[in-house]
Amino acid sequence: MKTIYLDNAATTPIDKEVIEVMQQSMLENNGNPSSIHQVGRKAKASVETARKNIAKHFNVDASEIIFTAGGTEADNLILHNAVTNLGVNVIITSKIEHHAVLHTLAYLQEYYSVEVLFVSVTNKGEVDLEHLEELLAASTDKKCLVSLMYVNNEIGNLLPLDRVCSLCTTYKALFHSDTVQAIGHYPIDLQKNPIDFIAASAHKFHGPKGVGFAYFKKGVRIQPMLHGGSQEKGARSSTENVHSILGMEKALNIAITNIEKDTNDLSSLKKYFIEELTASFTDVKFNGCSADLDNSSYTILSVRFVTANSMLLFHLDLKGIAVSGGSACQSGSSKGSHVLEEILSTEEQEKISVRFSFSKFTTKEEIDATIIILKELLN
């Protein structure tokens, strides 16, 4: 049975070219980047070249990129520094952020004197920009940080980045955005969009798992959370994951080089899937702005079915279709999606929601096969 993989918001398959780069590095790049001999210097040079090349994609300096073990660590490093190092005492966020942000803020609120405020979201999961401005205006006497994700990982909503940047600039607030679902899919120029901090994870754009980076705007001296070495200019102790860093660099370069083609191809594929679902299931609904091609990511479609089949995800898995109910991070939890809980009525939450997410490897034939199997299971 062939597997149809439609859970790319959880992780993406590694590109073959990325594997080749990593394999070559494993064969030839054996040094510790902290070693001063020529083998170590070669590894160090590879890491620093990757840092420079990654920085260029975002129009920033290489010194502003800190390599991490992924997006969660990047978010933690950024938020901890905002509170413990930069003196931030008010953080404005939403209740539909990734748990890498929400759980970190809950910790910081409990152990440090920081106030966490939640901006309202609509029943489509859109950030209420008027309320955001009200919260910012009421916090001008404090050091404030706004933390809002660019692409929601469960419903795919796009944050109006320009407008949020403008508000943060007007009210002199720092701005952190979890851009894990956006990087490699949407161009981000950090000179045009003055975001102070972003987080990235390579495995969301066909790179290896366990590696990512944090961007800290120049001028911020970073206090490490991991101690025991002076790697990453003192910002993160631990021997650099050389092979994965080079894989991430290659994956990002491929993604950004092909971003226009991939955007067009996947937008068309998502549109086709929406049309087929609507034609096949008269009572199907879409969560958030998921079905709005202008205001949601082309990689994510969150679908709500009116069905008593509570085992739908399980049966789809048995049929070889890999999907998610919410974020993959929650799949082991007995709790439902905190995002859907925030935007749906109690009655609508009882219905079965499925997150389908696509990559450049997803085909129209796979979408057709998925529709056939959904008909078998739901009609």
Give the pLDDT score at 76. 98
Mean of pLDDT values over 230-235: 92
Q: In a 3-state reduction of DSSP, which class is residue 322?
A: strand
Q: Which residues of 257-268 are buried (b: 16+ CB within 10 A; e: fewer)?
A: eeeeebeebbbe
On whether both 234 and 310 belong to a single domain, the answer is: no
Concerning whether 329 is annotated as a catalytic residue, the answer is yes
**Which of the listed residues 229, 257, 285 is the one where a domain comes to its end?**
257
Number of H helices, E strands in the chain: 12, 12
Do 183 and 329 lie in one domain? The reply is no
For the CA atoms of 241, 247, 252, 253, the dihedral, rounded to the nearest 10 degrees, stands at: 130
- DSSP label at 205? G
123: domain CATH number?
3.40.640.10
Catalytic entry in 165, 168, 289, 329: 329
The region that residue 3 occupies, defined by phi over 0 for left and psi between -120 and 50 for alpha, beta otherwise, is beta
User: Are 218 and 288 part of one and the same domain?
Assistant: no
How is the beta sheet containing 115-118 ordered, strand by strand? 65-68, 212-216, 197-201, 174-178, 144-147, 90-93, 115-118
User: 326 falls in which pLDDT band (50, 70, 90)?
Assistant: low
Residue 332's pLDDT band (boundaries 50, 70, 90)? very low
**What is the SS3 assignment for 98-136?**
CHHHHHHHHHHHHHCCCEEEECCECCCCCECHHHHHHHH
Average pLDDT of the residues in 152-159: 98
Mean pLDDT of 210-222: 94
Whether the CB-CB separation of 209 and 70 falls below 8 Å is answered with yes
Per the structure, how many domains does the chain have?
A: 2
Element (H, E) at 304: strand 300-305
Kindly state the average pLDDT of the residues 193-208: 97
Domain of residue 281 covers 4-12+260-378
Token pair recorded at residue 304? 């709500």
Cβ atoms 146, 171 nearer than 8 A: no
Residues 285 and 342 placed together within one structural domain of the fold: yes
Residue ending a domain, choose from 257, 275, 307: 257
Same domain? For 247 and 264 the reply is no
